[in-house]
Amino acid sequence: MRKLPRVLIVEDESPIAELIAVNLRHNGFAPVWAEDGESAQRELDAVLPDVILLDWMLPGSSGLQLARRWRADARTKGVPILMLTARGDEPDKVAGLDAGADDYITKPFSTQELLARIRAVLRRRAPEQVDDSVTVGALVLDAATHRVSWQGQLLKIGPTEFRLLHYLMKHAERVHSRAQLLDKIWGDHVYIEERTVDVHVKRLREALGEAASLIETVRGAGYRLTGQALVKPAPAQS
Ligand code: CA
């Protein structure tokens, strides 16, 4: 039997958590509920979920703090985090993405919207497993081992940034608009704003360090990954 995707719901309000859990169960997911960061951590230590639904406002550690902690932890850093925020908390959303959330969903949300988002993050994870590696200059991305290195040094990179980099490297030298990147990286995802792309490009550049110059902002058009800046005349043969 196919293993049901496990969804860890971190939410202190039990009516909301129960509603989400019931809906997930009816739609082929295996929900697990944790009412705060501490019990969520215990769940994560026991079994890694396929997705984490993380409420922003929690007693004790906030969703933001938890997202940061789990992104920094080697064991949990690859698990997609969908943040639950209150309506209108615009700065929260950006802060959430900055902290390492892959996406956010605004309360109140419909079951259909939630399911679509969860399926989207799960689908987005799947193509990563394709066994191939891409090289641009000294930048090497290995999709099989999920590693990125620059001049032989491993770089620390989040899951969304990894997908973004993978796509940009596979289609190097081409300019991609924000809308195209949303479509390719975030999939059939109509809810995300184009600004999200900028947030992740910023984080990708930070992760790349000195290789950040490979990613160019093309004014009025979008982004491009180029190896051109790296091309130096070959040393003369002696
Ligand atoms: Ca709450």
Helices (H) and strands (E) in the chain, counts: 8, 12
- List the CATH code of the domain at 133-230: 1.10.10.10
* Residues less than 5 Å from ion ligand 1, measured at CB: 12, 55, 57
User: Are 182 and 157 a contacting pair, CB within 8 Å?
Assistant: no
User: Are 53 and 79 a contacting pair, CB within 8 Å?
Assistant: no
Cα–ligand 1 centroid distance for 53 (angstroms):
12
The pTM (predicted TM-score) of the whole model is 0.56
pLDDT tens, residue by residue, 143-199: 878 899 998 899 999 988 999 999 999 998 999 999 889 888 887 555 678 888 999
Q: What is the C-alpha radius of gyration for the chain, rounded to an integer number of angstroms? A: 19
Cα–ligand 1 centroid distance for 10 (angstroms):
9
Upper half-sphere CA count for residue 32 (Cβ side, 13 Å): 19
Cα–ligand 1 centroid distance for 211 (angstroms):
39
Cα–ligand 1 centroid distance for 227 (angstroms):
46
pLDDT tens, residue by residue, 149-163: 998 899 999 988 999
**pLDDT score at 128:** 44
pLDDT tens, residue by residue, 100-140: 888 888 888 898 899 998 988 887 765 444 457 888 888 99
Cα–ligand 1 centroid distance for 165 (angstroms):
33
**pLDDT score at 125:** 67
Greater confidence, 238 or 30? 30
Most confidently modeled of 22-26, 123-127, 135-139, 233-237?
22-26
Cα–ligand 1 centroid distance for 65 (angstroms):
14
Three-class SS state of 179: helix
- List the CATH code of the domain at 6-125: 3.40.50.2300
Domain boundaries, the chain: 6-125, 133-230
**pLDDT score at 120:** 85
